[in-house]
Structure 1
Amino acid sequence: MKKIIIGVMGAGSGATSTDLKNAYKLGQLIAQESWVLLTGGRNMGVMDAASRGAKSVNGLTIGILPGNNLDGISEAVDIPIVTASEVALAIKNNKKVILLGSNLESQAFFVALSPETVFVVDTPESAIERIKNLV
């Protein structure tokens, strides 16, 4: 059976405590839906928090890491992929992107890039509802 892969991207070292709390919860909710979590794969910020959240409920995690090695990978990543920016890849491939808790400037930037595929939400639960409506 084909698995649904849901990506969570966000701040690394600049993540706020609210960002981390939301990312952890979102990772849990994604895994509880039996979806696969895709992040930037690093051991900091939103990427790590979402991966740890998914792993806390036995979810499967994939990390797309920039560069050409596994330096700085999150211990909560099951499948590492070394390549380019995950948000850019999603938008380039016409994938749906949901922004959770991003600042207004970031929202405006990404929505302007692809208004048909970028959505803004306020809570992890509203992100899950949006995903369910899209898949």
Structure 2
Amino acid sequence: MPKVVIGVMGPGSEATAIDLQNAYTVGQLIATEGWVLLTGGRNTGVMQAASQGAKQAGGLTVGILPSAARAAMSEAVDIPVLTGMGSARNNINVLSSQVVVACGMGAGTASEIALALKAQKKVILLNKNASSQTFFKGLAPELVSVVEQPIAAIEIIKAFLSDEDHVNRTVE
């Protein structure tokens, strides 16, 4: 059986201290559950914090990098996927994840959430950005959950993964 892959997305250099702390903790908790962490793989922002958290907890990390080189890759990435695709790699990020957790908000994160919803993926918003919460919940209320604490995100993921319906979702 394939391993569970959980994507953690969020801003790079624009990430807030709260975004970084949430990402680090979510990364730790994902690893503790035995799930694989997937991020954008770079050595900045939410990508770096989540990967460091997962590594600290002994987890496996995958980084889907925008370039064809390892430059700017997080040292906490175990499996780098060099795409040379720039932001187009955002689609790989979400399609490879069973659940997407967004820590914070930026243009790249918003694109990843939109792609995840289009693909019928479960999305958890771990941020206090009311406008993004309203917008994304308006697009797909059944797929979007809003939480304030990392542990709440993990509980939602557990419940989602235990529901066999998620296995049968397909993209048309």
TM-score (norm 1): 0.89
- One-letter identity of the residue aligned with 1:42: R
Name which of structure 1's ranges 19-28 and 68-77 shifts more when overlaid on structure 2: 68-77
Is 1:101 matched up with 2:157? no
Q: Structure 2: which 5+ residue stretches go unaligned?
A: 94-111, 162-172
- One-letter identity of the residue aligned with 2:125: L
Q: CA deviation at 1:102?
A: 4.4
- One-letter identity of the residue aligned with 2:20: L
Q: Structure 1 residues 80, 112: closer, same or farther in 2, change over 3 A?
A: farther
Measure the CA separation in 2 of the matches of 1:50 and 1:32: 13
Q: Could you give the per-residue CA deviations for residues 107-130 of structure 1, whole angstroms, max 9, x where no partner exists?
A: 233323333212111100000011
**Equivalent residues in 2 for 1:63-78 (5 A)?**
63-78=63-78
Out of 142, 147, 166, the position equivalent to 1:121 is 147
Kindly report the root-mean-square deviation, in angstroms, between the aligned alpha carbons of the 2 structures. 1.7
Q: CA deviation at 1:106?
A: 2.1
Out of 107, 131, 136, the position equivalent to 1:110 is 136
- One-letter identity of the residue aligned with 2:78: D
Count of residues in correspondence between the two structures: 135
Measure the CA separation in 1 of the matches of 2:138 and 2:12: 23
Name which of structure 1's ranges 91-100 and 119-128 shifts more when overlaid on structure 2: 91-100
Q: Give the secondary-structure state (helix, strand or coil) at the position aligned to 1:58.
A: coil
Match of 2:116 in 1: 90
